[in-house]
Amino acid sequence: MMLKLLAVFLALSTASQAATITASPAPAATVSPTRDAAAPERFPYAVNAPRSTVLPYCVGFNITYPAVAGEVYKRGELQTIEWTVDRSIPNPPDLITRIRIFDKDFHNEQVLGENITIYTHKTGGSLTYFVDANDIETEYHYRIMVNYPGQSVHCIFMSKPFTITPYPYIRYLANDTPAPAFAVPQAQ
């Protein structure tokens, strides 16, 4: 079983490195056998595999921040994601259905919002939030689900990868366990 999961993980990570920003349809109501096999039996919907099918109408939306790979955020800090929308296309998007932070294995770490207005200024928008990923220090990315009017399938856009540095003391408090001495904040 572990070898099977490792093979699926390697296939997913190779596919995710092939494209930094992709657009694809939202998941169907049913889960494919490949997606089920990638997650443990008790969490059949835990893995959100990258999608390679690009729909022709998934254009005109661009994530502008983070603009480069490798940004480093700290857990608990205020952070922003920004995007632009090309209103000159025939059918521009009208709503962001959901913004999430995914880890490198495509597990959902934090839901930033749902049903978000796409325009907070003339050419696009932004969302400010507190970083609340409790996991290990690893690579993450934003996954934005965008609605295009008259289309039954949403488009998925993924940001450049970034790193979140966890705050170990908070992790112990969240789990209601005593923190070891190295994790307790020291007075300076």
**Taking the CA of residue 49 as centre, how many other CA atoms within 13 Å lie in the half-sphere pointing to its CB?**
23
Question: Taking the domains of the chain in order of start, what are their residue ranges?
Answer: 2-174
What is the structure's pLDDT at 165?
Answer: 86
What is the structure's pLDDT at 65?
Answer: 93
Alpha-carbon Rg for the chain in angstroms? 18
Closest CA to 184 of 49, 174, 173: 173
What's the pLDDT band for 103 if we cut at 50, 70, 90?
confident
* Amino acid symbol at 45: Y
More confident residue, 172 or 89: 89
87 pLDDT more than 60: yes
Cα dist. 62→86, 144, 181 in Å?
Answer: 8, 10, 44
**Residue 143, beta-bridge partner list:** 100, 158
136 pLDDT more than 90: no
Tokens of 101: 């932070």
**Cβ pair 167, 105 in contact under 8 A:** no
Region label for 8, one of left (φ > 0), alpha (ψ between -120 and 50) or beta (otherwise): alpha
Question: pTM value?
Answer: 0.65
What is the structure's pLDDT at 108?
Answer: 86
What is the structure's pLDDT at 48?
Answer: 52
Lowest mean per-residue pLDDT among 1-15, 60-74, 94-108: 1-15
5 pLDDT more than 50: no
51 pLDDT more than 60: no
The proportion of the chain whose per-residue pLDDT surpasses 70, expressed as a percent, equals: 59
State the CATH class of domain 2-174. Answer: mainly beta
96 burial via Cβ count (<10 Å: 0-12, 13-18, 19+): buried
What's the pLDDT band for 183 if we cut at 50, 70, 90?
low
What is the structure's pLDDT at 76?
Answer: 84
φ/ψ (deg, to 5) at 49:
-60, 145
